[in-house]
């Protein structure tokens, strides 16, 4: 029996089908979940994919956070179920307060789409064990509300507890995907909760799982193989 | 320093998708009785020097040419008395 | 308040009507009266006036567009041709692809963000209405002078609008154009293209048949968008107590459109519609009359059932409203419940507003009273046709005689080097990454190639790797010098771009952007360009599947350059064989394919260095283009080339710089003995490409070219980190990169 | 119908690049003397029924849980007296 990974579709979600493809590429079963349905259909983990749920109106993730499916996701996440929020999914996770901080408009105020270099700072979360600590990966970034902010105390706590899971790599030419693309505080690209089961990040691992498509790199596949291993070994 | 507030709202006849999305979400969150929601922008300007008629006229012009897109938006300019009193 | 009913109209034949204010000519109004045998009601007048407008009826252009059908090449691939919302092409393996390019020029000048956004929204609905899932968009754009203050208003707004809408829909933007020229000041061109994919059996058409079938309007509520013009009518027919403010600007709601897409695709999957049409220009007037006209019977609509955003709208205004994100479907009665259920699932408002009748009239009612009773064909398909006078302008000879060949050329190697840097950093040749990085090119996870590649390419089948490629091109400068050749050069360039990535060109769509058809000189340009395009498509075997005409792009008497924009669609059986533009492997050999002549008329060099436009554009040889394409496609399929880049504006040197920068490798280049270095680098002869060939493939590749008779010249090797032209200059890649990439951000900031 | 206005502004300590971009542009457009600009959101809610304390309390809660993200934003709720007077 393989692992069942749920992929939530909110109205306006865009990357649900790509995320399902990435889940399958890693060898797990992808289970579509609908925002109005509280039932998680016995999935072992959930991905909240990217997109513009509810058009990103009001604030990115603000409206979807109140959907029925999220009631169950929040409950299960607190009980330890692995949850990954990608881009809009990360924004939803901050709005639910499963992850601290908030996402604001990029400091240059534009949408940015590029291949982004990040460093995996925490390779012990449910979603990152297939990476080496400190490993640099390159995956697509595409958003307009990608600037991570939190107050100093929260930031210090995240650092102290090793909960900055991914950081933008800044020491290289920006044409090659280096640099902080949006003004995120402390170059934070993604974070984890204390238990390591809930992870959110802005760049899109699901767009980097096949050679030739997108950037032609497969650096994102590790997210999905990590969770598969964890669930199968559990 | 005095504060001048410029409120910019979509003209009433212009579609406001954001306001609409907010309004549609409210009943689901248990808030009934809101017949309409419009979402606009609020600018708080900290003005150096006196906020006299000349200054307000300039801010009005600024709002008209820059802060608001008068093809689709209306705006209002007013002095924030609370802040003026404090300062 | 008095309702102008059919009965009332019949009884008041002499009531004055504002037909002139609505843009109708006297004889057109007379013809409407003749068709109806009475004066039209206000609602009927509104419908005819908007449907008979240039924009909807193509009255000035259709006599010329006919050639696209008459000269259409024999082509089995064409499944649906001109006339539907978009043409459909067979790409094999049971798949069909639909694509179309459309303009949203005038609205984008008034309100750049919303104009461009709703341009994307409109073309996406056209594609959706064919039964296809939209899979990519492109945006050919033209602005006034790069340093003009108004360009700083228009360009960022347009780009943000295209990105804001397209990104939110989840459609990868895989290419386009950005051109600056003072001729577009006041008339920016915002063209938008969408590509969609479906299985053959899923093709849907816009027709209403089957008496008793229901007419369902679904999507956004109807508001007063885009009906500034018809308010004349409303204010004449109604008392003055109602608000008269009607926005001419349409505002887009991409989130609503995304729901509309998913909802419609689910409806298609369950085979619930008998006919479908999007609502675009002319809103319900267009959708109801076109559906009824293409179908077998009549249609009856209860207009007061239309869900409104603004309850004060008059029936005329509801008919005219161009509110976005709406569709109209014809549904068999027993499928209506399921249809509405799916709409509910996606939070999409859906309303039965009428039904198909076994009569022959389009009948519209307002609270039980009949306000429209017309033969639908007379509204939708039998509008006026003009044979506008056209004449070759008297300045054309002088323009062509003003040969760019006589312009002063760089006197020495140092000047040549400086002009290379000037060229690649000029606004038109500079990198557009600042713009294209604001577009999502990865979404949907099928993008194989996107900007800055020669064509955008998406995979359409994950198992077989079948893919399609699209490129759009246009060159108003060439077309100004010779509209016939200019249209063919646009076609040739887009065709070549598709082939350069390894895809086989199949069909085209076009957007014809011109000045006023009432000016005989402009009409001549239009006639020449359409003739050139039709002839060119016949030679290349690529049918025109559909497109769009945008006229009146002029300020006062001054028209834009005639600007036919051509989009070529190609197919590639295995996307893993695609060819990128970047030089990535040191040591690979560079070959120039095709003939280089001294051709500088309309060139980027003449514009950038001398601000000059004159002479003749490059010669067109479509047979040569065809041969070049065959070679590029074979070489790509058989792994003989690792990179390819077509040559167009800016000539060889522009292509070399782009390929070096994109691949991150330099090149050492030798000028062939028989060519002047300046001509070698800057000439814009058509029918050429540069390719990088692995050494192991050299013989096979040159043999193939030799055997097929394509001129091929070895010009150098991929090497180092500079562009070195032997005996002339070296320019480090960093210096090129700065020149190429700093320009556009600098203009906007 | 009465109108209630909810103003939502970023907390003072949070960087506001939109406000900054506006402020930076002003001198170029010929407007001097604006020391700071902050950009926020303004919501206009049309409320059915009486806007009594209970209604305002509910709107306050709505603002706190939904219209504003209090991790980064402050908000104020007030009745728009102009509209109330008219109706
Ligand atoms: N507005 C735009 N949107 C998307 N892509 C664009 C846009 N403008 C230019 N591009 C892309 O940038 C690249 C270079 O453009 P261009 O020099 O016009 O190409 P070419 O001359 O080969 O037709 C192409 O890949 C093109 O698709
Ligand atoms: Mg090209």
What pLDDT digit, counting tens, does each position of C680-724 carry? 999 999 999 999 999 999 999 999 999 999 999 999 999 999 999
Catalytic residue check, A136: no
Which chain A residues have a beta carbon less than 8 Å from that of B25?
Answer: 54, 58, 63, 66
Instruction: Specify the DSSP element, H or E, that contains C429.
Output: none
pLDDT reading at C244 higher than 50: no
pLDDT band at B87 (very low <50, low <70, confident <90, very high): very low
Q: What is the mean pLDDT of residues A124-137?
A: 97
* pLDDT score of C247: 59
pLDDT band at C296 (very low <50, low <70, confident <90, very high): confident
Backbone φ and ψ of D58, nearest 5°: -65, -40
How many angstroms separate the CA atoms of C727 and D17, rounded?
50
Class of the domain covering A4-233:
alpha beta
Region for C312 from its dihedrals, namely left if φ exceeds 0, alpha if ψ lies in -120 to 50, beta otherwise? alpha
Ligand 1 close to Cβ of residue C177 (< 6 A): yes
Residue with CA at minimum distance from ligand 1 atom 16: C177
Interface contact flag, B39 D41, Cβ < 8 Å: yes
Region for C320 from its dihedrals, namely left if φ exceeds 0, alpha if ψ lies in -120 to 50, beta otherwise? alpha
Q: Where are the alpha helices (DSSP H) in chain B?
A: 17-28, 53-62, 81-86
Q: What is the mean pLDDT of residues C395-419?
A: 97
Residue with CA at minimum distance from ligand 1 atom 13: C452
pLDDT band at C236 (very low <50, low <70, confident <90, very high): very low
**DSSP output for C478-509:** HHHH-HHHHHHHHHHHHHHHHHHTTPEEEEEE
What pLDDT digit, counting tens, does each position of C554-568 carry? 999 999 999 999 999
Catalytic residue check, A29: no
pLDDT band at D31 (very low <50, low <70, confident <90, very high): confident
* pLDDT score of C230: 55
Interface contact flag, D40 B45, Cβ < 8 Å: no
How many angstroms separate the CA atoms of C286 and C279, rounded?
7
Identify the CA nearest to C196 among candidates C255, C125, C139, C136: C136
Ligand 1 close to Cβ of residue C684 (< 6 A): no
CA distances from A220 to A137, A164, A223, C710 (A): 8, 18, 6, 44
- C103 annotated among ligand-binding-site residues: yes
* pLDDT score of C238: 40
| Mean residue pLDDT across chain A | 95
Give the residue numbers of C annotated as catalytic, written as ranges.
55, 104
| DSSP strand pairing (A136-143 vs C173-180) | unpaired
Interface contact flag, A113 C459, Cβ < 8 Å: no
CA distances from D31 to B28, B44, C325 (A): 45, 15, 40
Q: What is the ipTM of this complex?
A: 0.91
pLDDT reading at C245 higher than 90: no
**Cβ contacts of C692 within 8 Å, gap of 6 or more:** C583, C585, C588, C589, C590, C641, C642, C643, C644, C659, C718
Interface contact flag, D7 B43, Cβ < 8 Å: no
What pLDDT digit, counting tens, does each position of C446-471 carry? 999 999 999 999 999 999 999 999 99
* pLDDT score of C422: 98
pLDDT band at D87 (very low <50, low <70, confident <90, very high): very low
| Mean residue pLDDT across chain C | 94
How many angstroms separate the CA atoms of C218 and C337, rounded?
14
Hey, what domains does chain B have and what are their CATH numbers?
A: 2-86 (3.30.1280.10)
Domain range summary for chain A, segments of one domain joined by +: 4-233
Taking any CB pair shorter than 8 Å as contact, residues of chain C touching chain B are 110-111, 114, 220, 223-225, 243, 245-247, 249, 251, 253, 255-256, 309-310, 323-324, 347
Question: How far does the CA of residue D36 sit from the closest CA of chain B (Å)?
Answer: 5
What pLDDT digit, counting tens, does each position of A147-173 carry? 999 999 999 999 999 999 999 999 988
What pLDDT digit, counting tens, does each position of C584-594 carry? 999 999 999 99
How many angstroms separate the CA atoms of A18 and A25, rounded?
10
The minimum-distance atom of ligand 1 relative to the CA of C429 is: 17
Q: What is the mean pLDDT of residues A170-188?
A: 92
Count the residues in chain B: 87
Q: Between C22 and C342, where is the model more confident?
A: C342
B82: burial class by Cβ within 10 Å (0-12, 13-18, 19+)?
Answer: exposed
CA C716–ligand 2 middle distance (angstroms): 20
Task: Choose the weakest-confidence range: C202-211, C453-462, C738-747, D38-47.
Answer: C202-211
Identify the CA nearest to C664 among candidates C718, C715, C717: C718
* pLDDT score of C237: 43
What HEC string does C127-167 produce?
A: HHHCCCEEEEEEEEEEECCCCCHHHHHHHHHHHHHHHHHHH
Chains C and D touch (3+ CB pairs under 8 A): no
- C311 annotated among ligand-binding-site residues: no
Question: How far does the CA of residue C421 sit from the closest CA of chain A (Å)?
Answer: 20
Report whether C355 contacts C212 (CB < 8 A): yes
Interface contact flag, A58 B21, Cβ < 8 Å: yes
What pLDDT digit, counting tens, does each position of C27-39 carry? 999 999 999 999 9
b/e sequence C121-132, b meaning 16+ C-beta within 10 Å: bbbbbbbbbbbb
What pLDDT digit, counting tens, does each position of B39-83 carry? 999 999 999 988 899 899 999 999 999 999 998 999 999 998 776
Q: What is the mean pLDDT of residues C380-385?
A: 91
pLDDT reading at C20 higher than 80: yes
Tell me which residue in A11, A21, A111 faces C346 most closely, judged by beta carbons.
A11
- C93 annotated among ligand-binding-site residues: no
Give ion ligand 2 contacts, CB < 5 A.
C 454, 497, 646
Backbone φ and ψ of A43, nearest 5°: -75, 160
């Amino acid at each position: 029996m393989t692992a069942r990974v749920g992929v939530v579709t909110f109205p306006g979600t865009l990357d649900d089908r790509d995320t399902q493809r990435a889940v399958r590429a890693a060898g797990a079963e992808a289970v579509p979940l609908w925002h109005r349905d509280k039932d998680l259909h016995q999935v072992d983990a959930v991905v909240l994919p990217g997109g513009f749920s509810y058009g990103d109106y009001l604030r990115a993730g603000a409206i979807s956070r109140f959907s029925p499916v999220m009631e169950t996701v929040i409950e299960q996440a607190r009980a330890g179920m692995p949850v990954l929020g990608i881009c809009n999914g990360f924004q939803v996770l901050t709005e639910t307060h499963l992850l601290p901080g908030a996402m604001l408009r990029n400091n240059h105020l534009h949408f940015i789409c590029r291949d982004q270099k990040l460093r995996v700072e925490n390779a012990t979360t449910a979603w990152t064990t297939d990476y080496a600590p400190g490993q640099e990966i390159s995956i697509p970034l595409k958003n307009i509300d990608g600037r991570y902010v939190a107050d100093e105390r929260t930031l210090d706590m995240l650092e102290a507890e090793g909960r900055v899971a991914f950081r933008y790599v800044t020491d290289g030419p920006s044409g090659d995907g280096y640099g902080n693309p949006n003004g995120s505080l402390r170059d934070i690209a993604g974070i984890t909760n204390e238990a390591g089961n809930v992870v959110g990040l802005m760049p899109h691992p699901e767009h980097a799982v096949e050679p030739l498509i997108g950037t032609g790199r497969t650096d994102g596949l590790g997210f999905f193989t990590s969770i598969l291993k964890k669930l199968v070994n559990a | 320093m005095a504060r001048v507030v410029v409120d910019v709202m979509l003209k009433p006849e212009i579609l406001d998708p954001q306001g609409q999305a907010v309004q549609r979400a409210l009943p689901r969150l248990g808030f009934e009785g809101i017949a309409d929601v419009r979402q606009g922008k609020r600018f708080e300007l900290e003005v150096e020097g006196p906020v006299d008629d000349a200054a307000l006229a300039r801010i009005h012009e600024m709002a008209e040419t820059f802060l608001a897109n008068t093809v689709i938006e209306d705006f209002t300019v007013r002095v924030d008395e609370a802040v003026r009193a404090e300062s | 308040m008095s309702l102008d009913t059919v009965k009332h109209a019949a009884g008041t034949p002499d009531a004055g009507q504002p037909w002139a204010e609505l843009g109708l000519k006297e004889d057109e109004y007379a013809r409407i009266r003749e068709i109806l045998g009475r004066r039209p009601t206000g609602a009927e007048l509104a419908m005819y006036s908007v449907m008979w407008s240039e924009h909807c009826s193509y009255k000035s252009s259709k006599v010329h567009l006919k050639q696209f059908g008459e000269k259409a090449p024999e082509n089995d691939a064409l499944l649906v041709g001109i006339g539907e919302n978009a043409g459909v092409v067979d790409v094999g393996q049971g798949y069909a692809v639909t694509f179309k390019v459309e303009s949203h020029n005038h609205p984008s000048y008034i309100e750049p963000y919303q104009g461009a956004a709703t341009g994307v929204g409109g073309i996406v609905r056209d594609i959706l209405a064919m039964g296809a899932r939209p899979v990519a968009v492109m945006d050919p754009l033209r602005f006034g002078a790069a340093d003009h203050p108004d360009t700083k208003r228009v360009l960022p707004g347009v780009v943000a609008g295209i990105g804001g809408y397209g990104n939110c829909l989840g459609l990868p933007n895989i290419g386009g154009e950005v051109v600056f020229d003072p001729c577009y000041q006041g008339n920016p061109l915002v063209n938008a293209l969408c590509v969609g994919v479906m299985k053959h059996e899923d093709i849907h058409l816009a027709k209403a048949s089957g008496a008793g079938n229901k007419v369902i309007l679904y999507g956004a509520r109807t508001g007063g968008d885009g009906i500034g013009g018809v308010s004349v009518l409303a204010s004449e027919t109604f008392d003055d107590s109602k608000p008269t403010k009607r926005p001419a600007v349409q505002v887009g709601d991409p989130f609503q459109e995304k729901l509309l897409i998913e909802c419609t695709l689910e409806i298609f999957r369950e085979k619930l519609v008998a006919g479908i049409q999007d609502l675009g220009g002319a809103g319900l007037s267009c959708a109801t009359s076109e559906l009824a006209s293409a179908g077998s019977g009549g249609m009856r609509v209860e207009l007061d059932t239309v869900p409104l955003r603004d309850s004060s709208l008059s029936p005329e205004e509801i008919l005219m409203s161009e509110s976005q994100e709406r569709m109209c479907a014809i549904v068999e009665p027993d499928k209506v419940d399921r249809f509405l259920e799916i709409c509910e699932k996606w939070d999409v408002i859906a309303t039965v507003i009428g039904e198909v009748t076994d009569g022959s009239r389009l009948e519209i009612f307002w609270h039980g009273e009949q306000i429209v009773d017309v033969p639908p064909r007379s509204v939708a398909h039998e509008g006026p046709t003009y044979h506008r006078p056209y004449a070759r302008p008297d300045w054309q000879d002088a323009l062509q005689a003003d040969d760019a060949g006589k312009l002063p050329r760089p006197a020495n190697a140092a000047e040549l080097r400086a002009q290379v840097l000037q060229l690649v950093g000029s606004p038109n040749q500079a990198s557009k990454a600042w713009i294209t990085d604001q577009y999502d090119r990865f979404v949907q996870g099928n993008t194989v190639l996107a900007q800055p590649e020669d064509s955008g390419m998406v995979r359409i089948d994950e198992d077989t790797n079948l893919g399609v490629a699209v490129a759009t091109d246009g060159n108003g400068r060439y077309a100004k010098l010779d509209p016939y050749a200019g249209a063919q050069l646009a076609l040739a360039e887009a065709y070549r771009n598709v082939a350069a990535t390894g895809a086989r060109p199949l069909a085209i769509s076009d957007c014809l952007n011109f000045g006023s058809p009432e000016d005989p000189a402009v009409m001549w340009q239009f006639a020449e360009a359409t003739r050139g395009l039709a002839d060119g498509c016949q030679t290349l075997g690529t049918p025109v599947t559909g497109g769009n005409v945008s006229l009146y792009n002029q300020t006062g008497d001054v028209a834009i350059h005639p600007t036919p924009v051509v989009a070529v669609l190609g197919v590639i059986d295995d996307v893993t064989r695609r060819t990128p533009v970047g030089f990535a492997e040191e040591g690979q050999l560079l070959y120039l394919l095709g003939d280089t002549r001294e051709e500088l008329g309309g060139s980027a060099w003449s514009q950038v260095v001398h601000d000059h436009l004159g002479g003749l554009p490059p010669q067109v040889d479509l047979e040569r283009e065809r041969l070049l394409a065959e070679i590029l496609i074979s070489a790509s399929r058989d792994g003989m080339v690792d990179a390819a880049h077509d040559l167009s504006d800016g000539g060889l040197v522009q292509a070399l710089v782009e390929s070096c920068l994109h691949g991150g490798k330099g090149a050492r280049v030798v000028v062939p003995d028989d060519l002047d270095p300046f001509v070698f680098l800057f000439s814009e002869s058509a029918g050429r490409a540069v390719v990088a060939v692995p050494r192991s493939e050299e013989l096979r590749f040159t043999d193939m070219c030799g055997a097929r008779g394509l001129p091929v010249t070895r010009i150098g090797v991929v090497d180092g980190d500079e562009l070195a032209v032997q005996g002339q200059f070296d320019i480090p890649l960093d210096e090129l990169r700065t020149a190429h990439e700093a320009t556009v951000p600098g203009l906007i900031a």
